[in-house]
Amino acid sequence: MSVKLVCSRVDEQGYGIVYYNDQAYKVSNLLEGEEAEVELFSQSGKVVSLIKKSPDRVKPVCGVYHLCGGCQLQHIRYEHQLDLKHDYVKNCFKEVNLDVPVLKPIGMNDPYHYRNKLQIVFSEKKKKIVAGFYEENTHKVVNAEDCDIQDQVGNEIIKTFKQLMAKHKIKPYLEAKDEGLIKHVLVKRSQVTKEVLVVIVTRDLVFPGRNNILKDLRQKHPEITSVVQNINPRRTSVVLGNEEKVIFGKGYIEDVLLGHRFQIGSKTFYQVNPKQTEVLYQKAIELLNLSKNDVVLDAYAGVGTIGISLAKQAKEVLCVEINPDSVKNAKKNAHINQINNIDFVCEDASKYITYMVNQKVKLDAIVVDPPRSGLEKAFVDALNQIKVKKLVYISCDPKTLSRDLKQLSYKYDIHPVQPVDMFSQTYHIENVVLLTAKKQVQ
């Protein structure tokens, strides 16, 4: 059934919301105020024809935007993308009844080609190799040669790799049949050091034609500084397997953030938008306003990027991170940067902070940067008990941030929330906020 409808708003995932007979339908590629002929399904809809266009609509730069699930906001003027993200963050706080000012998001000067990590899946269609991304909510591969949010060098390397697979008759992996060799190729590139790591994910360890493809690839792209073969025999959606072989170079690249060098391997968690990461970390450092006597805890520390960035301003930094590989990398990173007043603990952050509270360890400041799920209840309880002078919360999910800040708002004053756009063209938004312990009422 198709009906003429006007879009009431755009939701947090970029869908236009229309109402028909008091029921809401999610429609992709529709903006607030736009009128369209919409085909309705049970809870969603599809634009059949657009009748009235919004002034905030722009032509997506990507040719496969409407097929690929990677970006959701490319049809929206960038300034308006930021307005929508701003409204979304404000709404999250309204929903939990927390009166907190939310500042305008810090946007990017150039909101394209910002990603430093390109991850491409390979398959086959009509006997031709396809290389790209999964179609939204499916395992069908959309051919995407030039991704507009990815690093351009990475795009070029993938194009060459695809041509070389055809030249050397190397088969892509076909999930349905569980046969073929090449599953994914990852390209990680530092925009500062210009080092490039290529990770070739294969189904089997045996890789016929590997030396030939490697020789041609390096000849065409002398900028490649390392190549790793990752073997993933499992039939799962997890990209990387456990076994790895460095087939060229040192097996990792180095990047520079706020003057510090960090090693990035195939499996290292590292922020994907380095320019905005510097903006975010700089903001966190500014909000913490540390002094040389301060002891700081960096919880959910990853490879130590935040802790290392603020170590020079503090007396001591303690970092806690659950992933042993990240802790290993973090220790190496501290060593490379000659940071000696930092320590890393491989432990669950909630267990660690609870232990610190019980031991009455003196902390002057805490910075937390948890995964999307936010802080565990035990961590929030410990923060409410410890009542640290300064707490900076970095979050990649405004919903869990607002939930956690509500729980912290009885013991802490919450300062304005600063959104930072780390993921232009997608609906994601990062936030950073300072909390200070409330003064004891006599």
Footprint on this chain of ligand SAM (rule: CB under 6 A): 269, 271, 300-302, 305-306, 320-323, 326, 348-349, 369-371, 396
Annotated catalytic residue, options 62, 68, 92, 396: 396
Of the two residues 62 and 380, which places its CB atom closer to ligand SAM in the complex? 380
DSSP 13-25: TS-EEEEETTEEE
User: Which of 412, 418, 409, 387 has the alpha carbon at shortest distance from 104?
Assistant: 418
Give CA angle at 288 (285, 289), nearest 5°.
85
Of the two residues 27 and 314, which places its CB atom closer to ligand SAM in the complex? 314
Instruction: For residue 57, give the DSSP letter.
Output: B
Inter-axis angle of helices 210-220 and 152-167, to 10 degrees?
140
Rounded to a whole number of angstroms, the minimum distance from the CB of residue 357 to ligand SAM is 16
Of the two residues 35 and 347, which places its CB atom closer to ligand SAM in the complex? 347
Of the two residues 151 and 321, which places its CB atom closer to ligand SAM in the complex? 321
- Please give the residue whose beta carbon sits closest to ligand SAM in the complex: 302
Rounded to a whole number of angstroms, the minimum distance from the CB of residue 442 to ligand SAM is 37
Residue 412 assigned to a binding site: no
Rounded to a whole number of angstroms, the minimum distance from the CB of residue 371 to ligand SAM is 5
CA separation, residue 370 to residues 110, 347, 379 (Å): 27, 14, 11
Residue 270 assigned to a binding site: no
Whole-number Å distance between alpha carbons of 46 and 26: 9
Instruction: Verify whether residue 396 is a known catalytic residue.
Output: yes
End-to-end CA distance of the chain: 66
How remote is the C-alpha of 323 from its chain's centroid?
17
Rounded to a whole number of angstroms, the minimum distance from the CB of residue 324 to ligand SAM is 10
How remote is the C-alpha of 207 from its chain's centroid?
31
Give CA angle at 364 (290, 296), nearest 5°.
70
Query: DSSP 3-state assignment of 89?
Result: helix
Whole-number Å distance between alpha carbons of 325 and 251: 15
Is residue 390 a contact partner of residue 413, using CB atoms and an 8 Å limit? no
Residues 6+ apart with CB under 8 A from 109: none
Residue 321 assigned to a binding site: yes
Rounded to a whole number of angstroms, the minimum distance from the CB of residue 372 to ligand SAM is 8
Residue 271 assigned to a binding site: yes
Of the two residues 40 and 368, which places its CB atom closer to ligand SAM in the complex? 368
Query: DSSP 3-state assignment of 163?
Result: helix
Which residues carry out catalysis?
A: 396
Which residues belong to the annotated binding site for S-adenosyl-L-methionine? 271, 300, 321, 369
Which residues belong to the annotated binding site? 271, 300, 321, 369
